[in-house]
Structure 1
């Protein structure tokens, strides 16, 4: 990703411009690192599921609970983290959530029962949920409009990369080096430690400071870290400093943004999380015993779709990469469900097509929340939507093993198609076009 040189104005030097560019790169790295970590902890479970199940003597119910534990943790961590980010600021939470993750991740080395592992995974999910609520708003509040889509979309590239790396690393650590499943799961601890070091010294969001009527601090940080032409937009921010409350999200001013982002995100991630987490067992149901290649194939194709989406998003716009792709996913999943005697090669091709096109709306789930919610509720709005989406992702991951065994593969895929269709319909109705607009413009046009 290239960072174009900011336009210098009076008072700016080449040194200050270079400093701002380096800061934006650093901000992107620490944000994408958090998303890489999220994908990693979710992907690392799959390769060691069999040995974890045997080692702890757990049932399929416990297997689903542990796999979905981090997702359910995100359900609680996202809204709570969003509330805290709007009330106390972005900066403190951006550090504290990673400290919580580091401690809980390290606890995986020592778990001895299914309940202990579930609790640890829940804590990790709470930390990641808080990361969603503060990371994306913080990036959006510093990023210039012309690069905002690509910078925030890069976080989803990191998520898929983390998921894919975890799947491959887990397989290698388990099958080649014969590490214990506890050690494999605990590898996320070292990634968290690096991210904590990288976040030391990051500034508070000037938009949040301005919204809190701390004008001098906001100006000082904005002039130091942001392009001069973007500072004027901060001064257009509301200074109501309204109390961040969940009920505010359902007021006449914000309900459309809340409904759209929550439903859109829910329907985008629910089928993918379930299918990707148990890729090996899903593919086996269709006589596709692909092992490592199957799981990596779905993740690699999804990653390619995300990269293409990120490259196009600030050029072709948001809606063009949101609405059509969701309808394609609906058709593909319905085809898999209805084509009972499809050849194995055709089924694999359809799963790969789904993974590729689902990358479009999944990438937009990282961008839309920070654009349609204004500063005063950006954290809590993003957190609520992330938490709501993880209800679907968690339930899908938890119920997929049971559904495949009791309803069958065809019925399970038709349910997934129905969820994708709901998301496509909501996006067709409510998805805005925010390309190239400032945050003040995107929020004002959608909440008034």
Structure 2
């Protein structure tokens, strides 16, 4: 039975699309909690472990998927990508669940990573385009919430299934397959993004009278249109700076945190997983009670700073008091969890949808995700070896520096877009309509061009 499109709209549509983030983040945690078991089972080296991490949903796999999926999303629509993308994802996690050698596991991680990367720009773009302007952060925050619940459940399952060893990890991958299948079924009733459909109807050569076009000519601009305008390049640099430096830390923490805890003196896999449950539990609470409730109503520049500072403090405590035992780790888990819920990723997913015109909104996100996850992948190659060779102190100082740079960029160049329609933001930024539907349609056409970091009541 297929759900009717009219039955999957509003918050139901937002939640069903946001579930991409649950299974995507869940796959990263499934990899993180299983790497030790795979290493013992297949007898692979630390470098091979780094290769698995680097080519997975946490890094290069997702990077390539986003680079391909973003432009396709602008060309063929958001719905097409997030529908078929889930089929690829299900294949990847199923292969992982039944992997019996290193080669099969590597293929599984790469396939899953490609699917994760393709799904991220589609889901974030769709949610932002469908959300009311006065509640856009709340809707986009739903994706961040789902991203947080995925690791929370993943680490809880890892702790509960730890006595089963590798079998428990295989079961976690199977749970992701089941959730993805359910989400795929629900999404069959989703309508296409209204903004993308209207522009496709206006500009596509393959339209039929009274029916939405299946291919958007506007979306053909993709990366070509994206790099043709200085205002886009400026926004790309700012957002890559905010998200990239933060994700350099979060990417390693997400997949290698058990090894960091081990370096800090916690050898028990169950205790490591429970600490991560605390991290992600705090992330869920901070996302819902702080970001989703406040980001539409208060200065986003201030809220970004208030979210970033606890993250820097968390890693500083972990580095300075490495031998502090469980109290130090609990402080770290609480502060890092709060920061992850209100910090760079939540605002990046919001601003990345606001600062680019519809014809290349998903392409921009795909490109940025490619750059950021590639950097994460490069570090993932060496992180396990670097951590083992130099210890937590030196690695921690690098991570603290990255978080500090992200904070500075976000505070200085945070955009002033809160509460504005996407159409109006587009005209403010470009000085004229970019999307076909806006041509000659707005009284704001003469508004001075908007730039990232404009002073105002952000």
Q: What TM-score comes out, normalization by structure 1 length? A: 0.84
Q: 1:386 deviation in Å?
A: 1.9
Q: 1:131 deviation in Å?
A: 0.9
The secondary structure found in structure 1 opposite 2:120 is helix
1:277 equivalent in structure 2: 255
1:357 equivalent to 2:339? Answer yes
1:294 equivalent in structure 2: 275
Provide structure 2 residue ranges, at least 5 long, that are not aligned to the other structure.
Answer: 431-448, 450-458
1:56-78, Cα deviation, whole Å (9 max, x unpaired): 11111122222341222110011
Tell me the distance in 2 between the aligned counterparts of 1:250 and 1:351. Answer: 43
Q: 1:117 deviation in Å?
A: 1.1
Q: 1:156 deviation in Å?
A: 0.8
Q: 1:300 deviation in Å?
A: 1.6
2:445 equivalent in structure 1: none
Aligned ranges for residues 8-407 of structure 1 at < 5 Å?
23-68=9-54, 69-71=56-58, 72-175=60-163, 179=167, 181-214=169-202, 243-245=221-223, 248-249=226-227, 251-289=229-267, 290-307=271-288, 308-339=290-321, 342=324, 344-360=326-342, 361-407=344-390
Contact 2:17–2:187 (8 Å) recurs in 1: no
Contact 1:272–1:355 (8 Å) recurs in 2: no
Structure 2 CA distance for partners of 1:426 and 1:79, relative to 1, 3 Å:
same
Contact 2:74–2:219 (8 Å) recurs in 1: no
Contact 1:38–1:159 (8 Å) recurs in 2: yes
Tell me the distance in 2 between the aligned counterparts of 1:33 and 1:102. Answer: 14
Count of paired positions: 415
Tell me the distance in 1 between the aligned counterparts of 2:276 and 2:232. Answer: 39
Tell me the distance in 2 between the aligned counterparts of 1:240 and 1:114. Answer: 43
Q: 1:411 deviation in Å?
A: 0.5
Shifted more, 201-210 versus 372-381: the winner is: 201-210
Structure 2 CA distance for partners of 1:126 and 1:150, relative to 1, 3 Å:
same
Contact 1:104–1:124 (8 Å) recurs in 2: yes
Q: 1:20 deviation in Å?
A: 7.2
Q: What TM-score comes out, normalization by structure 2 length? A: 0.82
Structure 2 CA distance for partners of 1:161 and 1:254, relative to 1, 3 Å:
same
Provide structure 1 residue ranges, at least 5 long, that are not aligned to the other structure.
Answer: 1-18, 223-237
Tell me the distance in 2 between the aligned counterparts of 1:323 and 1:165. Answer: 28
Q: 1:375 deviation in Å?
A: 0.3
The secondary structure found in structure 2 opposite 1:434 is coil
The secondary structure found in structure 2 opposite 1:406 is helix
Q: 1:423 deviation in Å?
A: 1.0
Shifted more, 371-380 versus 298-307: the winner is: 298-307
